[in-house]
């Protein structure tokens, strides 16, 4: 959503953002592949220009919301010899010929959103669905990834806070050697470390979030937050 907000043309924004914002449509970002995650330059998905459209061939793996997405921002190589300067972002819609979803992937956690493999077999995407500029996909990706990392950091913060909510009553209820375990120095030290860690992380994430709101965030801080 943020990548569309920052990089889409007025026509693209009008077409996709309203229903994504209301929740009528589900969105997804397709960057990772079986052999490339953070190393985007090593991606294999190709997009070859043919007239007024691009033909995509390849696959994407571990795509959050993949089975349910109506609109996807997909990254593919348009100039394989140009490295990071040869990647382009495309807006792909569910139902486009040649685009399909493969197996739904099981996960250890974060089961609230489905994850799957995406398959592109001679998938034709109109040239007007290029997001940003041709071969400017890495800039589009990073324009939203910093924001995404800060947002995702809220999940671990919530888990840390929940752990504190559970453990504080427990150390007063659980007894060993005739006393609540919360009276033991070792347990008190562990609780102190948990409390300090939670508040330090919360302060850091909130500071980076405020910087995002002000347009002042740095890539290092966004990565550090998560």
> What positions carry a catalytic annotation?
148
**How many other CB atoms sit within 10 Å of the CB of residue 142?**
14
Q: What angle do CA 167, 169, 172 make, to 5 degrees?
A: 105
Instruction: Determine the 3-state secondary structure of 89 from DSSP.
Output: strand
3-state secondary structure of 22: helix
Is residue 144 within 8 Å of 28, Cβ to Cβ?
no
Give the CA angle between residues 99, 101, 106 to the nearest 5°: 160
Comparing CA positions, the residue from 141, 138, 99, 131 lying closest to residue 116 is 99
CA angle 106–151–225, rounded 5-degree value:
100
CA dist 63 and 69 (Å) reads 10
User: Which residues does 141 contact at the CB level (< 8 Å), separation at least 6?
Assistant: 3, 31, 40, 75, 87, 89
């Amino acid at each position: 959503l943020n990548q569309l907000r920052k990089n889409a043309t007025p026509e693209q924004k009008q077409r996709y953002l309203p229903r994504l914002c209301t929740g009528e449509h589900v969105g997804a970002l397709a960057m990772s592949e079986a052999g490339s995650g953070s190393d985007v330059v090593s991606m294999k998905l190709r997009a070859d220009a043919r007239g007024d459209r691009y033909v995509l061939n390849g696959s994407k793996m571990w795509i959050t919301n993949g089975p349910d997405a109506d609109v996807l921002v997909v990254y593919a190589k348009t100039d394989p010899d140009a490295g990071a300067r040869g990647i382009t972002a495309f807006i792909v819609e569910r139902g486009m010929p040649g685009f399909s979803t493969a197996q739904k992937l099981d996960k250890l956690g974060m089961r609230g959103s489905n994850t799957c493999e995406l398959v592109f077999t001679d998938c034709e995407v109109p040239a007007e669905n290029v997001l940003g500029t041709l071969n400017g996909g890495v800039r589009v990706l990073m324009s939203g990834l910093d924001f995404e990392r800060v947002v995702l950091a809220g999940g671990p913060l919530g888990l840390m806070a929940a752990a504190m909510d559970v453990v504080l009553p427990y150390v007063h209820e659980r007894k060993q050697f005739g006393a609540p375990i919360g009276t033991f120095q070792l347990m008190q030290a562990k609780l102190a470390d948990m409390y300090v860690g939670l508040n330090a992380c919360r302060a850091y994430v909130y500071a980076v979030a405020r910087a995002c709101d002000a347009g002042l965030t740095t890539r290092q801080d966004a990565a550090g937050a998560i």
